[in-house]
Chain A
Amino acid sequence: MLTLEALRLRQGGFALAADAEVPPGGIVAIVGPSGGGKSTLLSAIAGFLAPEAGTVRWDGRDLAGLPPGERPVSILFQDGNLFPHLTVAQNVGLALGPRLRLSAEQAGRVDTVLSLVGLAGRGDDRPGQLSGGQQSRAALARVLLSGRPLILLDEPFAALGPALKDEMLDLVAGELAADGRLILMVSHDPQDALRVAERTMIVADGRVSGPLATAEVMADPPPALKAYLGR
């Protein structure tokens, strides 16, 4: 269970307030106008931004003071999710520890997860040798291998074409969401939310609300979201 308790975030002149409980499991879409604070919210949960006030809890445990790498959190950013100078297998292997000294058993797990995302045999390539879609798959493989229970997706597929993006969303829904992980997925496309997310949180007007059932939100959006959706 992710708990945002009287959370107040401030970045420059921008402020965001959140009070929410998000039960575990499944995909939660985070929608709202751009500049509304969706990425700011993920930054705070991931530990890149210290809250002005309030608490982020996972299963009741206060995450304050935990550096990003020690939180039960994996995050994928809009870009730069792979190190260009490391091989694909090394990039994925970083999920198992920052020292990258993998045992044979661990190397086997890297291979397994690479096959799972359709990158069997590409482990020795550099990210630059992969297509955009394959790079996204490699980044997803690392998240999958890390086994952390809370996954934050900050529009990592925004640069992909519509068909590839849907493919990635299905991969997220099929593989990542399968083991009861909680996935918070920022999206500016309501179709993404409808496609894979049962629940939706709205970030608008300096407030976080939800989660609510995605179908209901999209059928009868609150005023702030209505303007954004153009209805």
Chain B
Amino acid sequence: MAHRAQPLRLPGPPRVPGAVAAALVAGLVLGPLAAVALRAGGGFAPGPADWAALRFTVTQAAVSAGLSVLLAVPVARALARRRFPGRAALVTLLGAPFLLPVIVAVLGLLAVFGRGGILNSALGLAGVDPVSIYGFRGVVLAHVFFNLPLATRLILQGWLAIPAERFRLAASLNAPVGRLLEAPMLRAVVPGTLLLIFLLCLTSFAVALTLGGGPRATTVELAIYQALRFDFAPGRAAALALVQVALCLAGTLLALKIALPSAFGGGLDRRVQRWDARGPLWRAVDAGVIGAAALFLLAPLAMVVARGAPGLADLPPSIWAAALRSLAVALVSAALTVALALALALRGGRLATVAGTLPLAVSALVLGTGLFLIVRPVVSPLDVALPVTVLVNALMSVPFATAALVPAVASAEAAHGRLATSLGLTGWPRLRLVLLPRLRRPLGFAAGLAAALSMGDLGVIALFAGERQETLPLAMYRLMGAYRMEAAAGAGLLLLALTLALFWIFDRGGRVGADA
């Protein structure tokens, strides 16, 4: 009997969990979104304060993105063409701000640039009036602190992607490297980098909460929080949440036109061999640029350690309780993220892509508002503060974890899928014997990333928690609000150590004994 050719559906890894995970992600994103949309339907007209928040959000995101990229270009160029002791460490350090709890960074920035910080002390000695980093300037400063390293890594990737032969050819022709090689590379890399940072800054909450505020420096995210928490105006919060969703969607649509770069490029420790820029002036410029960037990144962190160490000994017991709560939230949330992302990655295809990207269309505070509106008629928001935080943190990490796992599953299947299929390895045995062992590194990385992001998160928890549900970042924020800066610094150091330790343990666990 002849039968028609059909695409052969070979038995592969389990697919059902992926469908369940996609449904869960979709439900957890679209459910709160629907709650927000329903509540906002009451004919709410935005007032001047709301328009100001929208303007501020877009302006600060644009300025932050522009400044980050502008400063990142010379740093990336210097790192691409120089080799010096500590270069690899510095490149690794450029990946750290992604994991750094926002509130810890803010504390460090205040210690350097704040009213009583190093900078103003020096200015005072020189007889110059102190500068304030609250408001627009502070928000942009903090965003540049977080995104300059990211931009540098992305642009450095562009530099290292220029084949060495091109530089050799340019040198042999005595051609201008900048115009011939570097400008075209920058034209290709910069737009995506700008857009990525712009998008990240659009949903900024913790930075605006700590350094912004007031009518002139409130982001939409912060306005949602204030509407819900202080004005107790759920209708207004819901309307603002819709504005935030529109912002995110517009950004995401823009991102479809300009390819976003991958934030986790490896192999950045190479150096491009160059025959130009050898003069002492260029060397001095590059050394200055690298030194300034390192100082800008390291000084705030050093200040957190220096000011936090004395405070560690007499941290109030409530801080230790908060730390335990944070650890629990981080671990559960990381487990949930990894389970969802792994299920999606195993299934693959369009479903995984859509479900893996969906959380990017909403912000943490939008989800929080929706969940708040859903649970409030049933239970007190206080009672579900931690579970809701776990859920939202897990969801917000799903896109990063999926992005790490999807290509890893694809390459493991490409390398070993045929053999596994020929041996009848399907379903769970295939997962247990073939895929999980091959996925250890990205799994460890994804778990570490999700745990660190959740550990440092100051977002939804601020919306829901009372004193008894405080996580460590929230407790720290409240200490800062009460001007108990020493205790806050101690809590900050504890938070920093726990966050980095969580990431290190998971990431390391994925590497030790894993086959190349």
User: What is A's interface to B at a CB cutoff of 8 Å?
Assistant: 6, 10, 46-55, 62, 64, 67-70, 73-75, 77, 80-86, 90, 94-95, 98-100, 126, 128
- 16 more A-B residue pairs beyond the given contacts A82-B419, A85-B438, A90-B433, with a C-beta to C-beta distance below 8 A: A48-B8, A50-B5, A53-B2, A62-B1, A67-B10, A67-B424, A68-B10, A69-B425, A69-B426, A77-B418, A77-B419, A81-B419, A85-B515, A98-B429, A98-B430, A100-B429
Tell yes or no: B415 within 8 A of A by CB: yes
Check if B421 sits within 8 Å of A86, measured CB to CB.
no
Q: Which residue of B lies closest to A101 (CB)?
A: B429
Query: Nearest Cβ in chain A — how far from B293, in angstroms?
Result: 40
Q: Mark B380-420, 1 if CB is under 8 A from A, else 0.
A: 00000000000000000000000000000000000110111
Check if B421 sits within 8 Å of A67, measured CB to CB.
yes
Check if A83 sits within 8 Å of B10, measured CB to CB.
no
Question: CB within 8 Å of A: which of B430-459?
Answer: 430, 433-434, 437-438
- A94-B425 contact in complex given A69-B11, A83-B433, C-beta closer than 8 Å: yes
Partner of A46, one of B422, B433, B437, B515: B422
Tell yes or no: B349 within 8 A of A by CB: no
In the assembled complex, the Cα of A54 lies from the Cα of B424 at a distance in Å of 24
User: What is B's interface to A at a CB cutoff of 8 Å?
Assistant: 1-8, 10-11, 415-416, 418-426, 429-430, 433-434, 437-438, 515
Query: Nearest Cβ in chain A — how far from B194, in angstroms?
Result: 41
In the assembled complex, the Cα of A50 lies from the Cα of B423 at a distance in Å of 18
In the assembled complex, the Cα of A77 lies from the Cα of B418 at a distance in Å of 9
Check if B10 sits within 8 Å of A98, measured CB to CB.
no
Query: Nearest Cβ in chain B — how far from A142, in angstroms?
Result: 8
Query: Nearest Cβ in chain B — how far from A71, in angstroms?
Result: 9
In the assembled complex, the Cα of A40 lies from the Cα of B418 at a distance in Å of 14
Q: Which residue of A lies closest to B429 (CB)?
A: A98
Partner of B437, one of A47, A49, A67, A85: A85
Check if B10 sits within 8 Å of A55, measured CB to CB.
no
Check if A94 sits within 8 Å of B423, measured CB to CB.
yes
Instruction: Give the one of A6, A53, A69 with max B CB within 10 A.
Output: A69
When A and B form their complex, which 5 residue pairs have the shortest distance between CB atoms, in order from nearest?
A69-B424, A52-B5, A85-B437, A50-B8, A98-B429
In the assembled complex, the Cα of A32 lies from the Cα of B240 at a distance in Å of 70
Partner of A80, one of B11, B419, B425: B419
Question: Which residues of B sit under 8 angstroms from A100, Cβ to Cβ?
Answer: 429, 433
Check if B3 sits within 8 Å of A68, measured CB to CB.
no
In the assembled complex, the Cα of A85 lies from the Cα of B441 at a distance in Å of 13
In the assembled complex, the Cα of A55 lies from the Cα of B3 at a distance in Å of 9
Query: Nearest Cβ in chain A — how far from B432, in angstroms?
Result: 8
Check if B423 sits within 8 Å of A55, measured CB to CB.
no
Check if A126 sits within 8 Å of B515, measured CB to CB.
yes
Instruction: Give the one of A46, A50, A62 with max B CB within 10 A.
Output: A50
